Structure 1
Amino acid sequence: MIDLLKEVARGKRGARDLNYAEALHAAESILGLTATPAQIGAFLIAERIKMESVEELEAFVAVCRKYARRESQQQGQGLDCAGPYDGRTKSFAATFPTAFLLSAAGLPVTLHGSASLPPKWGVTLLDIIREAGIGAADLTPAASSTAARDSGVMVVDAEQWCPPLGAIRSIREEIGMRTVFNTAEKLVDYSGSPYIVFGIYHNTVFDRLARLLIKLGYQKALIVQGTEGSEDLYIDRPTRVYTIAGGEFHLDIINPEALGLDTQVPEMNWNPRQQLLTAEAVLQGGGHMAFYNQTLLNGAARLKLTGLADSLEEGMYICKDLLDQGAAWKVYLKWKQSLLGCEAAALGHS
């Protein structure tokens, strides 16, 4: 590990990218905890300064996947929604209700996250779920898999499914900045999904991430420069996206105004409770129009990506009907009841 550190930490001009084999060794040393905490911290900071190459990212994803539990149970039709593990501080997590909407449309969905991380320290997927009465003990891999079979929605607690990510949490918290793991942890692909929607913060990483997703073998992908670096399209302005298919990628602009969905977003005090209440209102066909429309737009874009809609307009009409007729809400209740039922069953056998 010391020899690898010497290569990536020579300064802005002297540092070089590791080749794939070297990066694999570094990732194994970190996730296997054979490197010391000081070495891990130094390596992550040096990579942050140098900026990770596509080969380095690919290697770190490969080692994360090696240590993770992964289940291919979506019959090759699923969508992975890869949002920021550091959460939200000032925006609605539209991907949460969108997952149940997409499942109602026949598209299995995987969501994943962890307890909040730097640099944002925002409200995370797991924080929102906890407000629904579902804790870590309810969200075991076995329970999550059962709920996915029952509802079509898989929610993964990443540190239960990939324990080494939990083992290095304290180091990441002490560093307090983005590291290679902020990208790699989002690409573990717990359900073997052929499709992915991936959120980024800066447009400077579009090209690098597009080349990485092609190397990882996704059938189709959508990279979104979304709200707070998430995979959620904006509803009050156009969103820059890269669409990836057939080994090629191109820039698109998705403009909600062109679909008649452009809506001013109200100022909100976002906390886990407010996120859950807003999502549940949308899933019942109501709530503030900005968040209802944002869910429609994100659902439509994902149906189009996966071929379940030929256009954003068609996807929007499909999603609106599913929301207004209560189909998405029924999927949400089925998912929630499955997880809580798993807990009750476990208690009954103890």
Structure 2
Amino acid sequence: MISLLKEVGRGKRGAKDLSYKEALKAAEHILTGKATPSQIGAFLIAERIKMESQEEIQAFIEVCKLHSLRYPMENSIDCAGPYDGRNSSFIATIPTAFVLAACGLPVTLHGGKTLPPKLGVTLYDVMNEMCRDGNISNKNLLKGAEEAGILFVETEKWCPPLEKMRTIREEIGMRTLFNTVEKYLRFSNSSYMAVGVFHGTVFEKMAKLLSNLGIQKGIIVQGMEGSEDISVEKQTRTLIVKDEQHELFIIDPEVLEMQCDFPEVNWTVEKQTSTALDVLKGTAELPFHNMVILNSAVRLWVADKVDSIEQGIYSVRHILEQGLAYKQYQKWIRAIH
């Protein structure tokens, strides 16, 4: 481990990216406990200063996958957002998942308890609140996937090495390569993916990563608070990845007649949960309603379920108006209990 630290820890100018083989070795040492906490902390900080390469991130993903549970879902979509949560935006990906499942597109959602740097409200927090019970077994969550098309993964239970990293990550208090790694674990071997990034500067790196991981088609979103959620207030930059090719794609809510201004909200777990359920019931305020429609439509289009985003908007409106998304949520609740 010390020899690998010498490569990445020589300062901003002298540090070198590890080869894929070297990164696999570093990941194995760190994730299996062979490296000491001091060595792990030093490695993560050095990588943060140097900036992780695509090969290094991929190596850590592959080692994490070796130590993870898997539940393949054919022709599904993985929705991957920030594990450090949200402080100022609606987690639209949650009600969107039930809309997609109602449209016949299985969905994987995954997350955990909040982490640095944002320490915000997480998908894990809201899904547990929606479950009405924080102690749902993996067996029952798999029933939810089988019967309702929604797989909810508590990431640290499915990938125990990441649970062992939590204390170090909390003590460091800043973003590390694990903030990226955990989003790309694809517990269901999904064919499609919607993943959020904070900075557009990593678009190219993440596109190559998606292609190498075997995604059939994906969308990388410079979304709200680094999430995979597209805004209805302004244009959103995305990158469409397909067949090892990628292209920039701007989504404009005004052109799609979805644009709305958001009210100021003090987002708590309870407020996120009630708003998500209001959308599914058809009683939410227009901005939240439109945001779920737009994000659902885009993901249906990415997964080749509709020919255009406009067609997706039409289909999703019908699903919500008929109460089918809320029925899908109720079906999931019955399955997991």
SS at match of 1:258: coil
Q: 1:30-65, CA deviations, whole angstroms, 9 ceiling, x for partnerless residues? A: 110110000000000000000011110110110111
Q: Name the residue aligned to 1:251.
A: 248
CA contact (8 A) 1:84 1:186 kept: yes
The code of the aligned residue for 2:261 comes to: Q
* 1:85 Cα deviation from its structure 2 partner: 0.5
Q: Name the residue aligned to 1:103.
A: 101
Correspondent of 1:265 among 262, 267, 271? 262
Whole-angstrom CA distance in 2 between matches of 1:195 and 1:129: 22
Identical aligned residues as a percent: 51
The code of the aligned residue for 1:280 comes to: L
CA contact (8 A) 1:114 1:126 kept: yes
Whole-angstrom CA distance in 2 between matches of 1:34 and 1:314: 52
Q: Name the residue aligned to 2:28.
A: 28
Q: Name the residue aligned to 1:78.
A: 76
TM alignment of 1:45-60, pairs within 5 A? 45-60=45-60
Q: Aligned residues, how many?
A: 337
Per the normalisation by structure 1, the TM-score is 0.95
* 1:334 Cα deviation from its structure 2 partner: 1.1
CA contact (8 A) 1:141 1:161 kept: no
The code of the aligned residue for 1:228 comes to: E
* 1:133 Cα deviation from its structure 2 partner: 4.7
Q: Name the residue aligned to 2:125.
A: 127
CA contact (8 A) 1:80 1:110 kept: yes
CA 1:133/1:152 → structure 2, altered by over 3 Å: closer, same or farther? closer
Query: 5+ unaligned residues in a row in structure 2: which ranges?
Result: none
SS at match of 1:301: helix
Whole-angstrom CA distance in 2 between matches of 1:117 and 1:337: 30
Q: 1:158-198, CA deviations, whole angstroms, 9 ceiling, x for partnerless residues? A: 01111111111000000011111101111110111010001
Correspondent of 1:295 among 285, 288, 292? 292
* 1:135 Cα deviation from its structure 2 partner: 4.2
SS at match of 1:259: coil
The code of the aligned residue for 2:168 comes to: I
* 1:129 Cα deviation from its structure 2 partner: 2.0
Q: Name the residue aligned to 1:346.
A: none
The code of the aligned residue for 1:62 comes to: E
Question: Is residue 137 of structure 1 aligned with residue 135 of structure 2?
Answer: yes
Question: Is residue 307 of structure 1 aligned with residue 304 of structure 2?
Answer: yes
Whole-angstrom CA distance in 1 between matches of 2:290 and 2:5: 48
Q: 1:8-37, CA deviations, whole angstroms, 9 ceiling, x for partnerless residues? A: 000011100000110001111111011000
SS at match of 1:257: coil
TM alignment of 1:103-182, pairs within 5 A? 103-138=101-136, 140-182=137-179
CA contact (8 A) 1:243 1:252 kept: yes
Per the normalisation by structure 2, the TM-score is 0.99
CA contact (8 A) 1:119 1:178 kept: yes
